[in-house]
Amino acid sequence: MNKKIFVVHGLFFIFVMFGIWFISAECTDSDGFGYDTKGEVNIRSFDDNLTQNYNDACVYKLEETNVQHYVKVDKILYNNLAECSEDNCYVAEAICSYNELSWQVSKCANGCKDGACISGTSTSNTSADCKNLYWFDSTSKECGYKEFCGAYMYYGLKTFDNEDKCEKELNEDENEDNQNLSEDSREKNSEKVTCVFKNSQIEQKCYLGKGEGLHKGVSCSGVGSCVIEVNGKKGGEITWKSSCGGYQYTKQDEIDDTIEFDCSGGESNITLLKINDVKYAYWQCYDGKEGKAGDGESCYPSKRLQKRAKEDCKEHCKGEKCGVNSFSVGGNCYLEEYVGDTNAEDIENIYDSNASEFKADLICKDSCPFEDKCYPFGYRKAEKYCSDNGAFIEQLKSDETCDNNFECSSNVCVSGKCIDAGFLQKIMNWFRKLFGG
């Protein structure tokens, strides 16, 4: 029974620890709602580790909006200044709301100086103050009416002293949303893409490699197959990847597509004559020298890249063997895609039937050559992984940007960052101690 409790607590601990990594920013406030104290809000972004600072300020209401520095609350503008007095004098208190910056503006009865109400004065908005207001927020579809007390403001909330103002503002927001939706609909269309994982008995993932107007996180998972609904720019070309390797391509044409990935492993010793245009090539010479060509964007005739590899490895030998030992290509192309610096004469020379035959001991497609085998995209070996450019590259270190677990030396990628292996070890050690291991 005790062990079960420990397991539950342990899983909760891991969830909390890892959950921290999914928060995009951290917000701290030095004084809370201290209206008679000048405070500071610091917002640190976990994406770029930059910190922005916001100070409490003395402010007054503006009648014009053409000013550079101001605070905006409920569509009322307040200009910043060092101190103020009399009726048009407020303190703008910077506060944290769901790890984002928010402002609470309160009137100072006897003036404001250096970002705080003058000592001994009270504000018109303390935790004891309550008032009935009409309101809506980002999750509401209609105006409500309820009592608000103290520092009630939060991100997305809008309050009004009468129902007409609330209804008018709500309708304006809805019309703006509908207009934006209508504009998007004119430019985008929806279709379904079915990803089929051949020769796989386990769950695989299909996800976006590249696509104009699409969010990079578009993906689906399943055993055998899965379906993704895609809303992208009409006529746009989309590149798809899978967790078992390989690429496939679709177009945004309002027609549902089915794409297939071979999960049995990398394609090896294929007939290069069947591969016309590709987007990259990687090769290894017999003496270990490596070379690559293509940027993954433009299309190149496969034979042009074969010729480049052959020339690059011509005098690189191991024993009596010289030339290209392994050759990998990837990235299919549409017919209209073509690299700009290739002219008709180049094409004729490249596809000349009398051209010398290209030879390599190992040829791979959409996979990586290593020790006489083709390994699928994402395969980990000797602290390297098979990348989408057809070569094994070093795994990433702690805190480096990542898209997949296999890219990290710790094999854990959370919120686009590689997790430190030492951090994971601490968790494991904690469990060992917990269970007396």
Q: Which residue, of 237, 262, 287, is where some domain finishes?
A: 262
Same domain, 244 and 297: no
The answer to whether residue 327 scores a pLDDT higher than 80 is yes
pLDDT in tens, 157-209: 788 888 888 888 888 776 665 555 445 444 556 788 999 988 877 778 887 77
Whole-prediction pTM: 0.37
pLDDT average, residue stretch 122-136: 60
Residues 321 and 379 in one domain: yes
pLDDT band, residue 124 (cuts 50/70/90):
very low
Asked if 312 and 294 sit in the same domain, the reply is: yes
Predicted pLDDT at 227: 92
CATH number reported for the structural domain that contains residue 258 in this entry: 2.60.40.10
pLDDT value at residue 226: 93
Residue 141 belongs to some domain of the structure: no
Most confident listed range (52-66, 212-226, 294-308): 294-308
Q: Do 274 and 241 share a structural domain?
A: no
Domain span including residue 358:
267-394
Q: What is the rounded average pLDDT of the residues 363-389?
A: 80
Do 296 and 388 have their domain in common? yes
* One domain, residues 286 and 240: no
Average pLDDT, the chain: 71
pLDDT value for 33? 59
Asked if 117 and 214 sit in the same domain, the reply is no
**pLDDT tens-digit map of 396-425:** 888 888 888 888 888 888 878 888 766 666
User: 271 and 251, same structural domain?
Assistant: no
- Are 235 and 277 contained in the same domain? no
How many structural domains does the chain have?
Answer: 3
The answer to whether residue 418 is domain-embedded is: no
pLDDT of 75 higher than 60: no
* pLDDT value of residue 285: 92
Report the distance separating Cα 26 and Cα 248, nearest Å. 39
**Residue 105 reports pLDDT greater than 60:** yes
Report yes or no on 293 lying in a domain. yes
Q: Is 330 a member of any domain?
A: yes
pLDDT at 10: 52
Task: Write out pLDDT tens, residues 270-313.
Answer: 444 345 577 788 898 989 898 888 776 677 777 788 888 889 99
Domain assignment present for residue 371? The answer is: yes
Higher pLDDT: 411 or 45? It is 411
* Residue 4 pLDDT: 46
For residue 354, the model assigns a pLDDT of: 37
| 248-268 pLDDT, tens digit each | 888 888 889 999 887 765 554
